[in-house]
Amino acid sequence: MEDGLNVFSIKDLENFSGIKAHTIRIWEKRYNILEPDRTDSNIRTYNESELKKILNVSFLNRSGLKISKIASLNEDELTHKVMTISSKNDDRSKDFQPGKVLASAIRFNETQFREPILSLIEHHGLEHAYCRYISPLLEKARILWQTGSLSRAQEQFVRNTVKHIIIAEDILI
């Protein structure tokens, strides 16, 4: 359902991933990282799975992996590497476990999702809770979407619920 519905330009990929368009073109040519479709006028177009792939490549590259190493990974290895690197900081806090919170998002259980976040805000304050816990949770949800572990609807549930919590908290401050 998700793939094929959206078509992205190379500029879209640049904006989403932070990788310059000319670098994407070089990586396509040198490493066959992406295989875009072409319009009749030879303009590159990318589908959602290619967007996810360039986001994963960008994440691994920002994490210190060389592009030649990333390019040698198959889809499963790429997903595994992203998940491994993104999970390194999951256990840094005893009072917040993003995996458990995201499990409630998978079931679209807003009450179970909101409770730990509200507790963190109450205990640490909005700014500290956001920087230390909520922002990494949002990043984790994005990565899980990129790797196909969360659906688009689940990832949007996470983002929108967090947005509503922050708006409500900001009003209370």
Q: Domain check: are 54 and 105 in the same one?
A: no
Judge whether residue 1 has pLDDT over 50.
no
Q: How many domains does the chain have?
A: 2
Q: Domain check: are 40 and 102 in the same one?
A: no
Residue 71 has a pLDDT of 96
Inside any domain, residue 136: yes
β partners of residue 45: 37
Cβ neighbours, 10 Å, residue 126: 17
Query: What's the alpha-carbon Rg for the chain, to the nearest Å?
Result: 18
pLDDT tens per residue, range 21-37: 999 999 999 999 999 99
Q: Domain check: are 107 and 168 in the same one?
A: yes
Q: Which of 58, 73, 88 is the last residue of a domain?
A: 73
- CATH code for the domain of 157: 1.10.1240.10
Q: Which of 73, 88, 121 is the last residue of a domain?
A: 73
Inside any domain, residue 126: yes
Q: Are 27 and 68 in contact (CB under 8 A)?
A: no
The CA distance from 67 to 69, in Å, is 5
Q: Domain check: are 14 and 61 in the same one?
A: yes
Inside any domain, residue 81: no
Phi then psi for residue 44, to 5 deg, are -65, 140
pTM: 0.69
66: containing domain: 10-73
pLDDT tens per residue, range 34-75: 999 999 999 999 998 898 899 889 989 988 999 999 999 998
Residue 139 has a pLDDT of 86
Residue type, 37: D
pLDDT tens per residue, range 72-131: 999 889 888 887 887 775 555 566 777 778 888 888 989 989 999 999 999 999 999 999
Inside any domain, residue 161: yes
